[in-house]
Amino acid sequence: MHTMAGKVCVVTGATSGIGRATALGLARLGAQVVLPCHSLERGEATARELSQVSGHEVLALACDLSSQASIRAFAGDFLRTHNRIHVLVNCAGIVCHKRTETQDGLESTWAVTYLGPFLLTRLLLPTLKRSRPSRIVNVAGEFHRRVQLDLENLQLQHGYSLVRAGGQAMLAKVMFTFELARRLEGTGVTANCLHPGAVRSGLLRNLPWYLRALASLARPFMKSPEAGARTPIFLASSEDVAAVSGEYFANERPVAAAAHAQDVVLQRRLWEESERLTGLA
C-alpha cells in the first residue's frame, strides 16, 4: 500500500465492521481520516481509539445517512474546516427484515445504503475534483446479481424482502459507480466499487432469528472485518489502481459485475431519479 501522508479521507460506517477496519488501515498509512457518524458520541469514541492505535489524527462529525438534512449539514461542517478531500469511502449500510421508512419518507435500506451515499458523494464532488488526484470507493456486494432494478418500485412498496432491499441498494451502488466514473473521465477523480466478501459484521444483528442462526453456523468460514477491508484500502491507496476507474473489484482484482448492472441507459435513468429524490435535479 502507498503512503497516505498528507491525504484527507472520509469513511462512512466506521464505528464498526469493515468501515472501522478501513478507517484504521488508512490512518495507519498516514492519512487524516474523518468519520461521518450517526451517533456522534460513539463516533468520537471510535476516533479517539483509532487515533491512539494508528498514531494519526482521526476526527468524527455528526452525519445521519438516513436524513438528507443531516448529510447536507455534515458536508457544510466538513467543508468549513477542510478544503481538500482525497478519498471518499462509502462503506455504511443497513439491512432491515421489515420495511421501514426514514423521516424523509424513503425506504430505509435504500436511503442509508444507496441514496445517502449518492447525496454525500455529490456534495463532496467539487472538493474531490479540486483535490485531484482523488478517489471514490463504494462498498457494494454480490447480492447485486440477484435482483433487477425496478425504477417504478424503488421504495419497495410492493414485494418487500430483506434480500430484495439489500440487493437493490447494492445494485444501485454499482450502477451509480459506473455512471459516476463515466461522468468523471478526465477530471482526475476515479470511482470504483467492490465486494468485500462474506464478513462477520454488526449487520448480522438486524437479521431475523432464523437467518442469524444460519449466519452463526457460517461464522467460522466468514472473513474478519480486517480481511474485508483489504480491498477498500487497496482501492483507496494503491498506486496500482491510481488510473483505474469504473470497475467492480473482489479480492483486490477487477471482476465482471452482473450484466444488468452494466446497462448504460438504466444507469443514466437511475442517476436522474436519484437527483430527483435528493433535490439535486
Q: Is the pLDDT of residue 275 over 60?
A: yes
User: Rounded to 5 degrees, what are φ and ψ at 58?
Assistant: -130, 130
Average the pLDDT over each of 63-72, 209-218, 232-241 and give the range with the smallest value. Answer: 209-218
Mean pLDDT value of segment 125-147: 96
- What is the CATH T-level fold of the domain 8-278, as seen in this structure? Rossmann fold (3.40.50)
Q: Which of 222, 207, 265, 232 is nearest to 140 (CA)?
A: 232
State percent of the chain over pLDDT 70.
90
pLDDT score at 216: 56
Q: Is the pLDDT of residue 221 over 80?
A: no
Q: Is the pLDDT of residue 67 over 80?
A: yes
Confidence of residue 171 (pLDDT cuts 50, 70, 90): very high
Please give the grid coordinates belonging to residue 94.
443497513
pLDDT score at 225: 84
Please give the model's pTM, rounded to 2 decimal places: 0.93
- Do residues 102 and 56 make contact, with C-beta atoms less than 8 angstroms apart? no
For the chain, the domains span 8-278
Q: Is the pLDDT of residue 209 over 60?
A: no
The whole-angstrom separation of Cα 192 and Cα 274 is: 19
**C-alpha triplet 15, 63, 39: angle, nearest 5°:** 45
Instruction: Look up cell 487524516; give the residue.
Output: 32
Q: How many CA atoms lie within 13 A of 66 on its CB side?
A: 14
pLDDT score at 122: 98
Question: In whole numbers, what is the pLDDT of the chain averaged over residues?
Answer: 92
Q: Is the pLDDT of residue 199 over 80?
A: no
pLDDT higher at 218 or 236: 236
Q: Is the pLDDT of residue 255 over 70?
A: yes
pLDDT score at 210: 46
Mean pLDDT value of segment 247-267: 97
Helix/strand/coil percentages in the chain, nearest 5? 50, 15, 35
Cβ-Cβ contacts under 8 Å for 49 (sequence gap 6 or more): none
Q: Is 275 exposed, middle or buried (0-12, 13-18, 19+ CB in 10 A)?
A: middle
Distances (CA, A) of 10 to 82, 84, 175, 185: 11, 11, 21, 22
User: Rounded to 5 degrees, what are φ and ψ at 155?
Assistant: -85, 0
State percent of the chain over pLDDT 90.
86
